Amino acid sequence: MRELTKAEEEIMRVLWQIGKGFVKDVLAELPDPKPAYNTVSTIIRILEKKELVGYTAYGKTHEYFPLITEEEYRRFQTEQLMENYFDNSLKKLVSFFVREKNLSLSEADDIIKLLNQQKKP
């Protein structure tokens, strides 16, 4: 899987939200100012070539749907973030968020609870 451009990610978010749809359906869900119909169509075809979007053909019309879940892409993005910026170190990632986002004690406790739940069989 490859990283998506902002425009591609925006289209994927719409498809994840609506499940499946025609170009006009995707366009309707995009915020103003809306891109041109042809722009959305082109981006969807690029996503199709990247094997991230599939379609069902109805004559010359196509209904598009995502081939990956949002969770799969989120996992990919997180792995890329860890690899490219934190040397695959979860400790470095968490330390960054503690420093930069002022992680509260309550949030830290929640993280510890999640970690403890992962340990239980």
pTM over 0.85: no
Contact (Cβ atoms closer than 8 angstroms) between residue 43 and residue 37: no
Tens of pLDDT, residues 23-59? 999 999 999 999 999 999 999 999 999 999 999 999 9
Residue 88 sits at the vertex; the CA angle it makes with 11 and 49, to the nearest 5 degrees, is 30
Tens of pLDDT, residues 89-112? 888 888 887 888 787 888 888 888
Residue 73 sits at the vertex; the CA angle it makes with 53 and 115, to the nearest 5 degrees, is 155
Locate the domains of the chain by residue range.
6-66, 86-121
Q: What is the pLDDT of residue 105?
A: 82
Class of the CATH-defined domain 6-66? mainly alpha
Nearest CA-CA partner of 11 in 43, 34, 36, 35 = 43
Q: What is the pLDDT of residue 103?
A: 79
Tens of pLDDT, residues 72-91? 999 999 899 889 999 988 88
Beta-ladder partners of 55: 64
Q: What is the pLDDT of residue 63?
A: 98
12: confidence class by pLDDT, cuts 50, 70, 90: very high
